[in-house]
C-alpha cells in the first residue's frame, strides 16, 4: 500500500538489526565494513548501494533524507551539516563560470553573502529581482541564466511569492527552479507541486523545532541531486549521524507541531491587528496580508512567523526587546520557545538604510517566531512589552 507522506514521515525506518529495535538506533560510525574484497570492490565501483564512509552515506542520514523526500514529494536528496551547506552545494554543483543566477532580493543573509561575495570569485554572475514585482522577473532573465532562487515566505518581511507563476517562468526559460522552503516546511508547502526542481532547507529551524542541532537538506530531481551528491561526497558537508537521528525523530512530529505553531501565530496576530502602537501586523493567513490569496493557494497554514511595525521606530524596537519577559532574544527561529527579533538593529544592521528599505526592513519592524507556549502567555508578553514602548 502507498502511504500518505505524513505516515511515511513516521514509518520510514532503516532496516531493523538483529536486535529488532522498535525505534531507529544511532549509526555513530565513520565507516562501514566489508565481508570480502569482492564486496568492497563492488561498493567502490558503485555496483551496489552499500555504505562505505559516512561522508558519502550513513543509514540514519539516509532515513532522514528519505523522509524529507517523501514529505516534499521529491525523487532524491542529500542531507548536509547545515542549511547553508545545502544552499552552497546546490550552487557549486550546478553552476559554472559564465552562468547567471537570478535570485529574489529578500533572502537569508548568509545566502546573500554567498551569492554576492563568493559566486563572482568563480565567474558566476548574479542579479536580484524584487519579491513584490514578479512582473519584472521575465525581463531579468539573460541568455546565460541557469537558475532561479527564491524563498517564500520571505525573511523577515513574510512576503509571499507565487510559486506557480515562478515555476511557469522557469519552465518557459529552461531554468533550474531552486526554492528555500525553510520558513514554510514541507508539511505546509510543497514547491515540487508548482514546478520546483530543487528544494533546500535549514533543518535547524522548524524541522528540529527545539533549537538543539544544525542540519540541512537538498531534495529534488534525481539527475540534479546526483551532481550535488558527487560534489558533497568530495567536499564534505555531510550531516552528522547524531544530528540525523535527532532530525529524523523530529519529522515524526513536524505536522502536529506546525499546526500548533500556526494556530498560535494566527490567533496572536489577529488579536494584535488593531493595536494603537502598531502600524500594521503581517501574517500570511491574515486576510489583510497583501498576498493573502496566493498564500491560501500554496500553503496549508500560515506558518509560525508573523511580524509587525512599531509606530515608534528604531528606539521603540530596542525598547520592545528589552521589555519582553517570556520571549527569548536569540538568532534562531522555529523553536518551541517564542523568539522576538528586531532586524534593523541586529541581523540587518550592516545594510544601508536604502538596502533595508528595498527589502522592507523598516526601523520599527519586529519579527516573532511563535513557540508552543500557551498562546495567551505569548500574547500577554507582547502586550506588556508594547506598553513600555
The one segment of 89-97, 180-188, 299-307, 308-316 that binds ligand PLP by CB under 6 A: 180-188
The correct pick among 61, 176, 182, 378 for binding ligand PLP (CB under 6 A) is 182
The C-alpha cell of 99 is what?
Answer: 552562468
* Nearer residue to ligand PLP within complex by CB, 90 or 155: 155
The C-alpha cell of 67 is what?
Answer: 523522509
CA distance 206 to 209: 4
CA distance 160 to 4: 27
**151 sits near ligand PLP (criterion: CB under 6 A):** yes
CA distance 128 to 104: 5
- Smallest gap from residue 131 Cβ to ligand PLP (A): 13
* Nearer residue to ligand PLP within complex by CB, 204 or 338: 204
Q: Residue 153, preceding bond cis, omega within 30 degrees?
A: yes
The correct pick among 67, 112, 146, 205 for binding ligand PLP (CB under 6 A) is 205
CA distance 199 to 305: 20
- Smallest gap from residue 170 Cβ to ligand PLP (A): 20
Binding mask 86-125 for ligand PLP (x = CB under 6 A): ----------------------x-xx--------------
The C-alpha cell of 90 is what?
Answer: 546546490
**202 sits near ligand PLP (criterion: CB under 6 A):** yes
226-255 residues near ligand PLP, rule: CB under 6 A: none
Helix or strand run (H / E) with residue 297: helix 292-298
**Is residue 137 a contact partner of residue 162, using CB atoms and an 8 Å limit?**
no
* Nearer residue to ligand PLP within complex by CB, 155 or 248: 155
Phi, psi of 110 (to 5 degrees): -70, -30
**216 sits near ligand PLP (criterion: CB under 6 A):** yes
The C-alpha cell of 149 is what?
Answer: 532562487
DSSP 249-266: HHHTTHHHHHHHHHHHHH
* Nearer residue to ligand PLP within complex by CB, 51 or 90: 90
**188 sits near ligand PLP (criterion: CB under 6 A):** no
Residues that contact ligand PLP, how many (by CB under 6 A): 16
By DSSP bridging, strand 278-282 and strand 305-310 are antiparallel
* Nearer residue to ligand PLP within complex by CB, 343 or 385: 343
**359 sits near ligand PLP (criterion: CB under 6 A):** no
Q: Cell 528519505 maps to which residue?
A: 66
Contacts to ligand PLP by CB under 6 A: 82-84, 108, 110-111, 151, 155, 180, 182-183, 202, 204-205, 214, 216
Amino acid at each position: 500500500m502507498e502511504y500518505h507522506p505524513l505516515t511515511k514521515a513516521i514509518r520510514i525506518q532503516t532496516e531493523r538489526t538483529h536486535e529488532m529495535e522498535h525505534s531507529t538506533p544511532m549509526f555513530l560510525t565513520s565507516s562501514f565494513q566489508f565481508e570480502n574484497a569482492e564486496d568492497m570492490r563492488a561498493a567502490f565501483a558503485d555496483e551496489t548501494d552499500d555504505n562505505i564512509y559516512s561522508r558519502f552515506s550513513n543509514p540514519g542520514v539516509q532515513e532522514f533524507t528519505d523522509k524529507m523526500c517523501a514529505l516534499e514529494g521529491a525523487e532524491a536528496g542529500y542531507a548536509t551539516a547545515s542549511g547553508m551547506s545545502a544552499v552552497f552545494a546546490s550552487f557549486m554543483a550546478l553552476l559554472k563560470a559564465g552562468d547567471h543566477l537570478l535570485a529574489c532580493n529578500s533572502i537569508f543573509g548568509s545566502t546573500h553573502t554567498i551569492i554576492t561575495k563568493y559566486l563572482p570569485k568563480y565567474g558566476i554572475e548574479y542579479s536580484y529581482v524584487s519579491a513584490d514585482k514578479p512582473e519584472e522577473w521575465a525581463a531579468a532573465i539573460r541568455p546565460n541564466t541557469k537558475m532561479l532562487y527564491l524563498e517564500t515566505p520571505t525573511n523577515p518581511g513574510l512576503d509571499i511569492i507565487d510559486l506557480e507563476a515562478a515555476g511557469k517562468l522557469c519552465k518557459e526559460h529552461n531554468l533550474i527552479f531552486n526554492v528555500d522552503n525553510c520558513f514554510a516546511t514541507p508539511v505546509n508547502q510543497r514547491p515540487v507541486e508548482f514546478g520546483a526542481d530543487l528544494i533546500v532547507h535549514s533543518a535547524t529551524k522548524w524541522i528540529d523545532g527545539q533549537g538543539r542541532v544544525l542540519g540541512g537538506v537538498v531534495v529534488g530531481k534525481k539527475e540534479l541531486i546526483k551532481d550535488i551528491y558527487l560534489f558533497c561526497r568530495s567536499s564534505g558537508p555531510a550531516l552528522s549521524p547524531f544530528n540525523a537521528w535527532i532530525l529524523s525523530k523530529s519529522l515524526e512530529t513536524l505536522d502536529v507541531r506546525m499546526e500548533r505553531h500556526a494556530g498560535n501565530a494566527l490567533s496572536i496576530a489577529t488579536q494584535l491587528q488593531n493595536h494603537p502602537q502598531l502600524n500594521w501586523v503581517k501574517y500570511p493567513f491574515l486576510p489583510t496580508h497583501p498576498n493573502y490569496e496566493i498564500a491560501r493557494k500554496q500553503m496549508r497554514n500560515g506558518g509560525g512567523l508573523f511580524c509587525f511595525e512599531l509606530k515608534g521606530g528604531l528606539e521603540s524596537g530596542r525598547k520592545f526587546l528589552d521589555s519582553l519577559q517570556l520571549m527569548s532574544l536569540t538568532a534562531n527561529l522555529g523553536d518551541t520557545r517564542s523568539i522576538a527579533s528586531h532586524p534593523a538593529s541586529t541581523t540587518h544592521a550592516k545594510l544601508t538604510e536604502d538596502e533595508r528599505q528595498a527589502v522592507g526592513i523598516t526601523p520599527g519592524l519586529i519579527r516573532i517566531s511563535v513557540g508552543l507556549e500557551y498562546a495567551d502567555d505569548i500574547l500577554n508578553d507582547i502586550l506588556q512589552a508594547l506598553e513600555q514602548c
